[in-house]
Amino acid sequence: MTTNQVKERIICEKPQIVVLCGKTCTGKSTFARELESLNYKHIEFDLIVRESVRNKFGAKDKEAFTVYGGIAPKEWQESFETTAKGFIDNMLAVSNIALDSAIADPTVLQRILGKHADEICLVYFHPFDRGFYYQSISKRFSDDVINKKVSFPIWDHITEVQLSDYKVNGIKGNEISKKIKQYADESIEKSKERLELFKTAFPSIIITGH
C-alpha cells in the first residue's frame, strides 16, 4: 500500500493501536506525526530504551538498543519490555496510540503487546526506492552534524576521514557518500530479512514505504 492508502485504512478501521516498524530513515516517525492529527498519541520506543536501559544502567546507545533484537542482558531486556508495556497500558486508558519502533525481533514486540498483540494494525516501512533512501539517510546525517547529535546507527561506522570529508565537501564528498550508500544498501538487505520475520509473526501486516 502507499502511505496514503494506509492512512485511509486507519481512518476507516480506527484501530486502537497502530504499530510502525522498519529500519531507520524509512518514514515511520513522519507517518506517526501525521497520525497525531487523527487523535493518535505518538510513542517513540527509542525514548523508552534511553530511559529504561541507557539511563538506568549507564549503557551506551549501541549497547542499549540491543533490546530491539532481544539480545540484551536479561535485566536490561526485562526493564525495557516492562516499561514499554506499562507505558502502552497507561496511554491506552486515555488515547489511541501510534508506536514508532525499530524493533528487529517480532517476539519482543509480541511480549510487549501481550493481550493486545492480536488487536493491532501493524505497518512495516520498507525502503523500496534506493535513491530516496540514500537521500533520507543523507539528510538525517546532515541534521545530526548540524545539531551535534548521534541519532541513528550509521555513527557506529563513521570514521574521522569520512566526517572530515563531509565537513569539507558536504554530503557529495566521495568518502561520506560512499559510506552512506554502503550503509543504505546493507540496511535494505536487513530490512528484507526483518520483514520476513514480521510476516510470519503478524500475518495481517501491512507493507508500505517510499
Category of 43 on φ-ψ map: left (φ > 0), alpha (ψ -120 to 50) or beta: beta
**Mean pLDDT score, 176-186:** 97
Report which DSSP code applies to 94. T
How many other β-carbons are positioned within 10 Å of the β-carbon of residue 202? Answer: 20
Backbone angles phi, psi at 149, to 5 degrees: -120, 160
Position 32 scores a pLDDT of 95
Given a cut of 90, whether residue 18 has pLDDT beyond it is yes
Given a cut of 90, whether residue 118 has pLDDT beyond it is no
Q: What is the pTM for the complete model shown? A: 0.94
The Cα 121–Cα 155 span in angstroms is 32
CA angle centred on 31, ends 28 and 37, rounded to 5°: 145
Position 75 scores a pLDDT of 98
CA atoms within a 13 Å half-sphere pointing along the CA-CB vector of 158: 21
Position 119 scores a pLDDT of 86
- Mean pLDDT across the chain: 96
- Domain map (residue ranges) of the chain: 3-129+187-208
How many other β-carbons are positioned within 10 Å of the β-carbon of residue 194? Answer: 22
Residues 183-207 pLDDT 10s: 999 999 999 999 999 999 999 999 9
Q: Has domain 3-129+187-208 been given CATH number 3.40.50.300?
A: yes
